[in-house]
A and B are shown apart, each in its own frame.
Chain A
Amino acid sequence: MTDASMQSPETRRHAVSLTASDARTKKRAAAEKRFRAYGIIAIATGLFFLIVLFTSILSQGIPAFQRTVVSVEFTLSADQRDEAEGTMFKTKAYSNLFIAELNEQLAESGITVDFDQDAIERLLGKIGGTIRTFYADNPGKLGEPIMFDLAASSRVDGYFKGRVSRDTLQDSRFLQLSDLDLVDALKEAGIIKQAFNWPFITGADSGVDNPGGAGIGASVVGSFFMMLVVLCLSLPIGVAASIYLEEFAPQNKFTDLIEVNISNLAAVPSIVFGILGLAVFIQFMHLPQSAPLVGGLVLTLMTLPTIIISTRASLKAVPPSIRDAALGVGASKMQAVFHHVLPLAAPGILTGTIIGLAQALGETAPLLLIGMVGFVARGYPDGFLAGFTEPNSAMPAQIYTWAARADVGFYEKAWGGIIILLMFLLTMNIIAIILRRRFERRW
């Protein structure tokens, strides 16, 4: 009985050809294929997310680099100015002169359109004041033709970029349907057009009701001062700490304590560093709120573990024979480290530092707590030293501020800000990669 039952499967197996696969083999092969497909799907999903992320950044951020301007060549004679200055409503007189000029230019292009001063104000804001200040500052330009590039209001800008359309527009004090006819006429005459948005890159933040005038320049300066603080503190401290731990630290409890602390600090959520900054630097030491100095100090503490870990790795990569050789010709341990090991490890240290700085540049959460968000950075700091202590914003904080505002016009600015931030990060990472490629040495 047992013999028979043992024999029967064996004979059956021999009956099957080895070249044709049986059901079980097919099943296993299918499982293999499926498993492989899961892996491909996972990677494809990850890359798909990456593509979606970048397309949404680019598609929504690039319009921020375009602005809509009305450029009108305008000449003001000294007589006209004196006449306007003599009237009761001075700015109104200027804006009437401007409208007359605009009408003339439209007539030249053979376009007729009705508009009043209110319409112009809705399109361009208070131009009378702009013109008056210009001539008050530059009296020498009187009588010369001057090209005025006036920024159109954010809703007109939106009309050009497809954010505002004729079908959905409702008359309001900001924009009326009839104004769009005027805009179309101006466009036909080539007076209103899209131009590169330099003020976005160089300008400072605007108030909550003027998304068109908001720029990221001031917060780039704020970020720059913060990074300066981070670089000046975290590089020397980080390198010194790594040298101690890697080359000099004795095996004892205190060294263990430092090591455990560094690895734990690397994993502490960034918001906790913000709490530390708030409690220690602002509550306890009374350093100024919203100052790049405080932001830089907090980010230094955050970046230190990253820099220490990468510096230690590059010190470790220097072979012991270098140290032995230096000691052998009579150098002290300190001289061996500072004269031979450190220069050899420098490219690696630099790469790690740049990557740490890039991380710090994009960090937002701790900046929220030290007051870099509520602050509207309306201008540049007064001087180099004031740049550290005067309240300012930073790039990621500025982006958050824009994202948190109600006006949809600011969202475009936030995406545009992200493009600029990512360009900085990209540059830093490329520099790090080039340094690594150029100086990497395998022992």
Chain B
Amino acid sequence: MTARLQRALGGVTRVRGVRGALIVAREDGLVVADALMEDIRGNAVAALAASLTRRIGEAARASGVGTPQFLHLEATGGALLAAAAGDEMLVVAVTEVGVNVGLVRLEMFRAAEAVQ
């Protein structure tokens, strides 16, 4: 299981500009698997991504657009991306500025398929 998840994350982290990727339990923000650069705190990323996804998910559902499948928080120095992996998990990535988001997104959804 762990090796399979690590392989799935490998596809994400191989994209240039990705600083790290994780598989996170959606409900409590716990790290299931990770592939991170040294300067990234996995637990913090997981907790923040799960919390933000939950909060935004409530607003999205209230607005009638249904359940979030992909979230992209763009910041001046990078981005946080999260893709739904079934109902229970998230694939999360932290990137640098100017990364090919389309490619990262694709790899994240591939990883999400591997998780389910």
Q: A and B, one complex? A: no
A-contacting residues of B (Cβ < 8 Å)? none
